[in-house]
Amino acid sequence: MTTELLPIKTVAKILTCSEATIRRWHKAGIMPAPARPGGCIRWKAAELEQWIFDGCPDLRKAHK
């Protein structure tokens, strides 16, 4: 199964925010964790889509 991996620039465009915001959310654990193929940070398109569909819940609260 092939999973599309999205770079931070694409994720920022999808979420209509800055790359800095994506970095902050990633560090804080607010959004889905990225994959790290070859040391690059990429988000799985399906996981990001589901997170958006769910209303972008703060994942820090979901894991408590």
CATH number of 5-62: 1.10.1660.10
Please give the pLDDT value at position 46: 96
Task: Count CB neighbours of 49 within 10 A.
Answer: 15
- The phi and psi torsions of 28 (rounded to 5 degrees) equal -80, -15
Q: Is the pLDDT of residue 39 over 70?
A: yes
Please give the pLDDT value at position 61: 79
pTM of the predicted protein model: 0.86
Q: Is the pLDDT of residue 2 over 60?
A: no
Do residues 13 and 48 make contact, with C-beta atoms less than 8 angstroms apart? no
Strands 5-6 and 43-44: antiparallel
End-to-end CA distance of the chain: 31
- Each domain of the chain, given as residue ranges in start order, spans 5-62
